[in-house]
Structure 1
Amino acid sequence: MQQASIFISDGEDQLHLRHIWKKPGGVPIFMLHGLIENGYIFYTEKGKGLACFLAEQGFDVYVGDLRGRGKSSPAINAKSKFGQHEAITRDIPLFLEKIQQLNTQKTHLVAHSWGGVLLTSFLARYPHWLDKILSKTCFGTKRIVTAKTLEAYFKLGFMWRYIAPMLAKNKGYFDAKKFRFGSDSETQQSLSESIAWVIPGQWHDQSDGFDYYHAAENINWPPTWHFTGINDRALGHRQDVQLFINESSNYAAKFSVLSKKSGSLVDYDHINILTHAQAVNDHFPQLSSWLKQQR
């Protein structure tokens, strides 16, 4: 298995795309992380993670670092003004265009958490891309939060809506890694936009008003599989994942809640659904088989 970094220039910014493959000619997969994350949720340089597993299965895997995160540069700082509008209208198209240049086959999409919201929004906004997409897979993806759990109240009701904006205002951006709330930073703009979307209400763009909800109603979605863990009680609660499937009008989507009761080896949560050592013996092979069927 081989790994290489690809850098895409966009003005003064450099977007990082990690390429992971074992043999040439594989079907491409694009992976996108969520908020306060970067591409390392999918891979390690030593060959662990879902991206590396799928590369071993013959896929041509590309993992993106959204603007300012991971190995993209410059890193998010007090001068960073971009948000999720730029992720949807600039970053994702640039990633997919680069992948198309390198591998002209249709592409699978895989996302974790908020990355699934961004990818779904992208496809709703730019439906002409659907002709180049084979499937969409989301791990722990929700938009709004309705789960009434203690963890949801603390992480989203208190930390995300109140503490994070206060810390971001003081520093000029939210340094989630410093406060052990995540693995990467968010801009004030991104934080503000995500807070607006987490609260039940209209799914529209905060920058230009684009109506993603009504656009999604007219989309003929590619084969889609949503996963979440039974122990994901806040950031990808099964109740809220189902709500996102419904509001996306993706009624044919598969949905699996991973738990020992349902046959999994582990009661997974929001993070270890991608990082647990047992995942390679559990849902990773299932996903690989399903992706190969979509050809």
Structure 2
Amino acid sequence: MQSSSNLFPVALISADRRGDLVEDVYRLKPGNSLDFTVELAVTRLGRAAAPDVRGVPVILLHGSFSNRRFWYSPKGIGLGAYLARAGFDVWIPEMRGHGLSARNEAYRTNRVADYAQYDLPAIADFVVEQTGQVPHWIGHSLGGTTLAAALGGHYLGARQAASVALFGSQVTRTYWPLKVPGLAWSARVLLKRFEHVSGPRFKRGPEDEPMGILVESLRWHGPFGRFGDKKDDWWSGLRHVNVPTLCVAAVGDTQDPPWACHELFEQIGGETKAFLLLGREQGFTEDFGHVQMLVSKAAQVQVWPRVEDWLNRQLQPVAAESTLNMLATS
């Protein structure tokens, strides 16, 4: 089968109509990491009424124990479907071993470091190739953390990210038992015996998470831990990020509390950034929770339009620059 990309092998594995939307699913084989078995499924959403008319690309990254259905349900409900109907070109990757992405050979040891250094740049390059535009990114929970790692590690830059929006994402919440000398190390040694954490079994979500993700998190929060890998300090690198950033926290989020989300917001550099807190005191009808901030009837009415507004506001400087270029050459 002929590849759909000149970058690396890509196959269009399905093309369907879902009500008023069209859904194309691609399988990417970037071959850019030590594990050449990695395959990534990426779903592209558009309007059935105008399938060849594509707007500005937006990439949506799901969180832990999740898949593409967080953004786009079988009934066509979700932020992804909402943005597609609004005219955006929506791309929804599923991380290694999630949803339609097969488990790679080294699935047990998959880490955020792998997602950030290898997978996100490959996805970005493919979307840029297909659309001719720099995409905007939206990440929830671990998806947002992965985006922060990619930005802090300088694996993604302005040529691959026009803006980023991080929902319920943080890396500085302290788990004091893990600061006890030897405890974090012992926990990592014990957990490495297992392949994954079961989302359905522990009622965390429909997907499993590779044990490498949990072990990596324990290292971040252990004694002398930091947000980064052995070579790079992503936390320090965030100071040099100059990509427009929106950070969103929810008052009722006990997993990733607002104060920790705000610390991540403060660490990110750049002049164009905003922080949004979702709660009653801020004018919303409820104190949103970790999932409810994006998946709820209240979110459909109060949060999704704000996301659309954020994206549209990021397009205005681009449109102005294009106009100036046209005037300069006329």
| TM-score, with structure 1 as normaliser | 0.85
Q: Which piece of structure 1 moves more, 89-98 or 246-255?
A: 246-255
Q: Is the 8 A contact 1:145 1:200 kept in 2?
A: no
Q: Give the Cα–Cα distance (whole angstroms) in 2 for the partners of residues 197 and 245 of structure 1.
A: 18
Q: What residue is the counterpart of 1:149 in the other structure?
A: none
Q: What residue is the counterpart of 1:43 in the other structure?
A: 72
Q: Is the 8 A contact 1:140 1:270 kept in 2?
A: yes
Q: Give the Cα–Cα distance (whole angstroms) in 1 for the partners of residues 148 and 99 of structure 2.
A: 22
Q: What residue is the counterpart of 1:112 in the other structure?
A: 140
Q: Is the 8 A contact 2:244 2:270 kept in 1?
A: no
Greater CA radius of gyration, 1 or 2? 2
Q: 1:168-217 deviations in whole A, cap 9, x for unaligned? A: 556422122222133322222221112222458553533x4212123222
Q: Is the 8 A contact 1:34 1:113 kept in 2?
A: yes
Q: Give the Cα–Cα distance (whole angstroms) in 1 for the partners of residues 235 and 151 of structure 2.
A: 12
User: Of the candidates 268, 273, 297, which is equivalent to residue 253 of structure 1?
Assistant: 273
Aligned-pair identity in percent equals 23
| TM-score, with structure 2 as normaliser | 0.76
Q: Give the Cα–Cα distance (whole angstroms) in 2 for the partners of residues 199 and 38 of structure 1.
A: 28
Helix, strand or coil at the partner of 1:232? coil
Q: Give the Cα–Cα distance (whole angstroms) in 1 for the partners of residues 59 and 223 of structure 2.
A: 29
Q: Give the Cα–Cα distance (whole angstroms) in 1 for the partners of residues 223 and 71 of structure 2.
A: 29
Which residue identity lines up with residue 206 of structure 2 in the other structure?
S
Q: What residue is the counterpart of 2:169 in the other structure?
A: 141
Q: Is the 8 A contact 2:240 2:270 kept in 1?
A: no
Q: Give the Cα–Cα distance (whole angstroms) in 1 for the partners of residues 124 and 116 of structure 2.
A: 12
Task: Give the aligned CA root-mean-square deviation in angstroms.
Answer: 2.9
Q: What residue is the counterpart of 2:129 in the other structure?
A: 101
User: Of the candidates 50, 65, 74, which is equivalent to residue 103 of structure 2?
Assistant: 74
1:1-295 alignment to 2 at 5 Å? 1-9=21-29, 10=31, 11-22=36-47, 23=50, 24-74=53-103, 80-126=108-154, 129-146=157-174, 168-169=191-192, 171-198=194-221, 202-206=225-229, 208-220=230-242, 222-233=243-254, 235-249=255-269, 252-295=272-315
Give the number of the structure with larger relative contact order, counting CA–CA contacts within 8 Å between residues 6 or more apart.
1
Helix, strand or coil at the partner of 1:193? helix
Q: Is the 8 A contact 1:78 1:172 kept in 2?
A: no
Q: Which piece of structure 1 moves more, 85-94 or 248-257?
A: 248-257
Q: Is the 8 A contact 2:27 2:42 kept in 1?
A: yes
Distance of aligned partners of 1:238 and 1:166 in 2 relative to their CA distance in 1, 3 Å threshold:
same
Q: Which piece of structure 1 moves more, 53-62 or 261-270?
A: 261-270
Q: Is the 8 A contact 1:127 1:219 kept in 2?
A: no
Which residue identity lines up with residue 8 of structure 1 in the other structure?
L
Q: Give the Cα–Cα distance (whole angstroms) in 2 for the partners of residues 197 and 289 of structure 1.
A: 34
Q: 1:217-240 deviations in whole A, cap 9, x for unaligned? A: 2222x221111211102x221110
Shift of 1:270: 0.1
Q: Give the Cα–Cα distance (whole angstroms) in 1 for the partners of residues 75 and 162 of structure 2.
A: 28
Q: Is the 8 A contact 1:114 1:143 kept in 2?
A: no
Distance of aligned partners of 1:128 and 1:172 in 2 relative to their CA distance in 1, 3 Å threshold:
closer
Q: 1:78-118 deviations in whole A, cap 9, x for unaligned? A: 96332222111111112111111211112111000121121
Q: Give the Cα–Cα distance (whole angstroms) in 1 for the partners of residues 280 and 233 of structure 2.
A: 39
Q: Give the Cα–Cα distance (whole angstroms) in 2 for the partners of residues 13 and 78 of structure 1.
A: 9
Q: Give the Cα–Cα distance (whole angstroms) in 1 for the partners of residues 282 and 110 of structure 2.
A: 41
Q: Give the Cα–Cα distance (whole angstroms) in 2 for the partners of residues 60 and 170 of structure 1.
A: 42
Q: Which runs of 5+ in 2 are unaligned?
A: 1-20, 316-330
Q: Give the Cα–Cα distance (whole angstroms) in 1 for the partners of residues 44 and 140 of structure 2.
A: 18
Q: 1:112-149 deviations in whole A, cap 9, x for unaligned? A: 01211211221232366313422111110111214xxx
Q: Give the Cα–Cα distance (whole angstroms) in 1 for the partners of residues 39 and 198 of structure 2.
A: 20
